[in-house]
Amino acid sequence: DGGITQSPKYLFRKEGQNVTLSCEQNLNHDAMYWYRQDPGQGLRLIYYSQIVNDFQKGDIAEGYSVSREKKESFPLTVTSAQKNPTAFYLCASSIDPQGGTKNIQYFGAGTRLSVL
């Protein structure tokens, strides 16, 4: 089955710890995205990547880092600099981010991150 796999489903972070959220897609999509979802707020873009070895900051990139070494994979690291990391994190992908029918974003099942 084609799709986007996020892992783990639940993650706990200790004070001062960096944690990495995994996102893998087998849809052969060029573009991948990371969003953060908090209660009562719309999805907010953290980082996105349009091509391997390239990525751009979204609206709330501070305290996060990403890499895009393979087309299929776009891991997100939540660093200790992110002081309020508790949220639901969503990964998405699209064929082409430039517009039209090719920029429909498909989402994974999400990772819920909590602070211990």
- Choosing from 21, 34, 46, 48, the residue that interacts with another protein (CB under 8 A) is 48
CB of 92 closer than 8 Å to CB of 44: no
- Candidates 58, 63, 71, 79; binder of another protein (CB under 8 A) is 58
Residue closer to another protein by CB (options 51, 81) is 51
Please choose, out of 13-21, 63-71, 77-85, 99-107, the segment that lies near another protein by the rule CB under 8 A: 99-107
Residue 41 in the binding site for another protein (CB under 8 A): yes
Contact between residue 2 and residue 26 where contact means Cβ atoms under 8 Å apart: yes
Q: Which stretch binds another protein (CB under 8 A): 12-20, 66-74, 77-85, 97-105?
A: 97-105
Q: Where are the beta strands (DSSP E) in the chain?
A: 4-7, 10-13, 19-25, 31-37, 44-51, 54-57, 64-66, 76-78, 87-94, 106-107, 111-115
Our finding on whether 100 is near another protein (CB under 8 A) is: yes
Strand partners, 37: 88
Question: Which member of 24, 46, 105, 113 binds another protein (CB under 8 A)?
Answer: 105
